[in-house]
């Protein structure tokens, strides 16, 4: 089926780097948007949905699948280019303590110091709600850049897996999440691609520095 003319077209999308330390990240040359959230929330799946690629970003039923910072380069048909950054999931008890210690500081270090980071999408499972880790992450990212981080970064909260709820429950569920988060919440589904253009609109604004 032909795409509607106003729909985002991704011309190229490719894996660029997998980093287990900040030194493994590509040079900060392109604007970046990052996807954060607990293990299994659907970060990698949402990225595939946005990029229009079924399996570019590895997804898994087993929580804790993405253990490093994976960077993808995307170029849209209209010329916009950016990095998509898949962050390691947090909050998964079965990842060993040593390993958890390994990527905790790396994630924080990335969020603190990456000068090209324009937006962080904080993902929340629509059925689970906003828990303490999400609050902590939102608080951390909301602090003035001079205190915690190198640059101001937009924060967007996305509810994932909305296809798991009947359509009649979408609005009330998203409103409840927005109250919990203290932020607007964008409903998304990697299965049906619901919310895809809404997320792209935020990505474009964040990269352009528009309100």
Ligand X SMILES: Nc1nc2c(ncn2[C@@H]2O[C@H](COP(=O)(O)OP(=O)(O)OP(=O)(O)O)[C@@H](O)[C@H]2O)c(=O)[nH]1
**C-alpha to C-alpha distance for 113 and 192, rounded to whole angstroms:** 35
Closest approach of ligand X to the CB of residue 181, in Å: 17
Q: Write the binding mask 54 to 93 for ligand X: x where contact by CB under 6 A, - elsewhere.
A: -----xxx-xxxx----------------------x----
Closest approach of ligand X to the CB of residue 127, in Å: 10
Q: Which of 117, 195, 180 is nearest to 152 (CA)?
A: 117
Contact between 94 and ligand X by CB under 6 A: the answer reads: no
Nearer to ligand X, 8 or 66 (CB): 66
The site that binds ligand X (CB under 6 A) totals a number of residues, namely 23
Contact between 161 and ligand X by CB under 6 A: the answer reads: yes
Stretch that binds ligand X, among 16-24, 93-101, 145-153, 186-194 (CB under 6 A): 186-194
Closest approach of ligand X to the CB of residue 172, in Å: 19
Backbone angles phi, psi at 175, to 5 degrees: -65, -40
Contact between 153 and ligand X by CB under 6 A: the answer reads: no
Nearer to Mg ion, 42 or 195 (CB): 42
Closest approach of ligand X to the CB of residue 200, in Å: 16
Nearer to ligand X, 61 or 115 (CB): 61
Contact between 117 and ligand X by CB under 6 A: the answer reads: no
Which single residue brings its beta carbon nearest to ligand X? 89
Contact between 41 and ligand X by CB under 6 A: the answer reads: yes
Give the number of other Cβ atoms within 10 Å of residue 56's Cβ.
18
Point out which residues bind ligand X (CB under 6 A). Answer: 37, 39-45, 59-61, 63-66, 89, 160-161, 163-164, 189-191
């Amino acid at each position: 089926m032909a795409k509607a003319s106003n729909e985002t077209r991704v011309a190229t999308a490719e894996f660029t780097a997998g980093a287990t330390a900040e030194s493994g990240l590509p040079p900060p040359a392109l604007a970046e948007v990052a996807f954060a959230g607990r293990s299994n929330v659907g970060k990698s799946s949402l990225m595939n949905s946005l990029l229009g690629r079924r399996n570019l970003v590895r997804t898994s039923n087993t929580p804790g699948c993405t253990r490093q910072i994976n960077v993808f380069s995307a170029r849209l048909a209209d010329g916009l280019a950016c990095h998509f950054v898949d962050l390691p999931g947090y909050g998964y008890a079965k990842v060993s303590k040593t390993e958890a210690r390994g990527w905790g500081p790396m994630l924080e270090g990335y969020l603190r110091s990456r000068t090209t980071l324009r937006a962080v999408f904080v993902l929340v499972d629509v059925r689970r709600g906003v828990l303490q880790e999400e609050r902590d992450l939102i608080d951390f990212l909301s602090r003035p850049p001079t205190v915690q981080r190198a640059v101001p970064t937009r924060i967007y909260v996305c509810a994932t897996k909305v296809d798991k709820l009947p359509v009649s429950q979408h609005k009330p569920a998203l409103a409840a999440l927005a109250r919990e988060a203290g932020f607007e919440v964008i409903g998304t589904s990697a299965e049906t691609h619901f919310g895809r253009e809404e997320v792209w609109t935020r990505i474009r604004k964040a990269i352009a520095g528009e309100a």
